Amino acid sequence: MRVILAPMEGLVDAPIRETLTRVGGIDRCVTEFIRVTHGTLPPRVFFKYAPELERDCATRVGTPVAVQLLGSDPGQMGLHGLKAVELGAKQVDINFGCPAKTVNKHKGGCVLMREPELMYAITAAVREAVPEGIPVTAKMRLGYDDRSMGVACGQALEAAGAEEIVIHARSKVDGYKPPAYWEEIAKVREAVNSHVIANGEIWTVADYWRCREVSGCDDVMIGGLIARPDLAAQIKASQTGESVPDMTWPEAVALVREYAAALQTRLEDRYVTGRIKQWMNFLRLGFAEAELLWPEARKIRDVAPMLACLDQDIPEARLKIRAA
C-alpha cells in the first residue's frame, strides 16, 4: 500500500523531493523526465535531474528515487536506460504520459499512446538493455485522443516486460480537468498481470480510499502532495486507523524556506522566486493562507521579500471569511 510522489516537470526537482520525503509517508519518488533524442547524453545530464544517483539513488532520508526517461527511439532509450543504471539507477521508468504540446509534437510522452507497437518496442529495448534485477516501469494515461487505448497500451507494456505501470486516469485531451476516471484504471488492471498503480485527482485521504476502491489498486501515485505536503503521512496513518494533526501554515512555510535555501545553492535568485511561486500556486489548494497571500506574492520578484510575505501574520477573521 505504497504512496509514490508523482514527477512534475519543472517543479518536483531534487530539492523538493528532499523536502517532501522528510515530512514522511512517501515510499518512492520519480525524477522529472530526462529527454532522450539523438546522441548519447553525458553523465552531467543524469546528475542534473537525479543528483540522488550519488547517494545510492535515494533521498537523504532513504526514499528510493526512480530515474525517468522520455523518448521515442527504442535503440537510444535502451542505451540511456543502461547508462542510467551504470550511473547508479535502481529503477528505470519510461514516460508515456506527458501531455505537454512541445513534448508530444516531438513524438514523446502521451502521443506515443497512439502507437502501442512503438510503446512495446521502446519498453522492450530498455528491458533488454537494463540488467536483470533492475525494474523497468512505465507511466501512461488512458489514451491520447480519448480514453479507449488504456487496455491495449497496458498490454503492450506488460508484453514488453514492464514490471509496474502507473496510470494517470485521464486522456491527453482530458488534460488535468476533473474528474479522474479511476474505473478505467480498473479495466487495465484486470487485463494485465503487471502491477498497476493509480494516479490522478487524489487530494485528500478520502480521495485516496475512493481511488483504491474504484481502481482496485493497492498503490497510488500522488501529485497532490505538492498542495498538502503531509498528505502521504495522513494516508499512512489512515491505513492503520490512526490520524495525525494537519500541517499548519507556519509548518508549510518552514518547508518552503528549506526548499528556497536548497535552490539558492543551485540557481540564481530570480529563478528561485519563480519556483517558490510555482509551489505556492499549488499550496493554495491546501491552505487558505496561501490563497489569501497569493495576489501579493505573485508580484514579488526577489527571494527575501517573498519569504517575508509568506511569514506575515494573517488575522483569524480573514481566514474565516475566506473559508466561508
Catalytically active residues are 98
Cα distance between residue 99 and residue 273, in whole Å: 26
Query: Which CA distances in Å does 208 have to 59, 187, 225, 310?
Result: 24, 18, 12, 29
Give the pairing of strands 28-30 and 65-70.
parallel
| Gap between the Cα atoms of 216 and 156, Å rounded | 21
Helix (H) or strand (E) holding 196: strand 195-199
Backbone angles phi, psi at 192, to 5 degrees: -130, 160
Cβ distance 280 to 299 under 8 Å? no
Dihedral angle computed from the Cα positions of residues 80, 2, 155 and 83, in that order, rounded to the nearest 10 degrees: 10
88 contact partners, CB below 8 Å, separation of at least 6:
53, 54, 56, 57
Angle formed by the axes of helices 269-283 and 249-263, to 10°?
150
Buried b / exposed e over 249-269, threshold 16 CB at 10 Å, is: beebbebbbebbebbeeebee
